[in-house]
Chain A
Amino acid sequence: MSNSVSALQGKVATAKVMVRDAGLRGMITLRGDITNTKLKAACAGLTGVDWPAPGQANCVGDKGLAWMSPDEILLLVPYAEVPAALGLVAKALKGQHYLAENVSDARALIQIEGPFAAEVLAKLAPVDLHPANFKPGNFRRTRLGQVAAAFWMRDVDTIDVICFRSVADYTFDLLATSAAAGPVGYF
C-alpha cells in the first residue's frame, strides 16, 4: 500500500499572511435530498456541527459541513475516518437515492491565515469579500484566477480554500503571490 500524501506536501509561504498546505483531509461529497432528516442526523453524528444554511460552512477543527448546492453537501472529517464515515452514511441512507463519494485525494486544502486574509482572496475571486458581506461561517464556490475553488471563513483572520489536486500548485502560488504583495487597503 502506498503512503497517502497531500498534493503540496506541507508547503508553506510565510509572509504577514501565511499560506500553508493544510495537509490531508477527509472529504466526502454527499448528493441527494439534503432535506432528508436521516442524512442530517448522520452528518451531525459524524461531525458534531450544526447543519449549514445555504452559503454557509460549519467547521470545527478537522470536521465540518459545507453547503455546496441545493442537492450537495461537503462532509469534512479527519482523513483516516473516511471509510468509517462512508459506512455510517450508507447505513443511514440504506434503500434511498443518494451519492456519497470519497473525494479526499482529488482535492487540496490550503489555509490562509493573517491580518488581511480576506484581501488576499479578494484580489483573486469575483466575490465581494468586504468584512460587512463575507463573515465567519460564510462559504463560497467560485474561481480563483483561472481555476475552480471554494473557500470558507473560519474566523476573520483564517480562511480555508479547497481546489482540485491537479491545480494545487497553481492555487498555492496564486495565493502566496497575492499574500506577498500585501494588502490593498480598500477594506
Chain B
Amino acid sequence: MLILHCPYCGVDADETDLHAGGQAHLKRKGPDSSDADFEDYLFMRENPKGVHFERWRHVYGCGKWFLAARCTNTLEVFGTYAAQTTAPPKDLLDTISEKRPGWSWGISK
C-alpha cells in the first residue's frame, strides 16, 4: 500500500484517497514545435525501474495536485512536493542521490 504525504493539507494519505496523474515535469510543446516534439510530449513517457517522479491528486481530501518521487521497484517514497515547480527541490534530489547513487531520470539526463 502506497502512503503519500500531501504537502498541502499535511496528512499522510492512503493510495485509495489519491488519484494517480502520470509522469511529472512534462514540458508542453506548443504550436511552434515540430511534429516529432509534439508526439513526444503527447505519447512518450518515462517507464523506469527505480526512481520516478509522478503527479498525484489528493482527490478525496483537499483536492490539490502534488508531485511525488518514489522508487517503482521497492515502492519506497523519497518525498512529495508542491506542484508549482518546474523541477524537483534540491534537498529531495540529494536524498535520492544518497539512497540510489548513480540514479538518472528523464529530466536529469
> In terms of DSSP, what is the predominant structure of the interface of chain A?
strand
If A141-B60, A143-B60 touch, does A69 touch B9 (CB 8 Å cutoff)? yes
CA distance A69 to B66 in the complex (A): 13
Task: Write the nearest CB–CB distance from B84 to chain A, whole angstroms.
Answer: 12
Contacts of B64 in A (CB 8 A): 69-70
Binds A, one of B11-19, B33-41, B92-100, B101-109: B11-19
CB-based contact A142/B62 at 8 Å = no
Q: For chain B, what secondary structure do more than half of its interface residues adopt (helix, strand, loop), or is it mixed?
A: loop
Contact A126 B8 (CB under 8 A): no
User: Does A55 lie within 8 Å of B9, measured CB to CB?
Assistant: yes
Q: Once the chains bind, are A70 and B60 in contact (CB under 8 Å)? A: no
| Contact code string B1-14 (vs A, CB < 8 Å = 1, else 0) | 00000001111111
Which B-chain residue is minimally distant from A144 (CB atoms)?
A: B60
Contact with A140, one of B8, B11, B16, B63 (Cβ below 8 angstroms):
B11
Residues on A lying within 8 angstroms of B by beta carbon are 54-55, 68-70, 72, 126-128, 140-143, 148
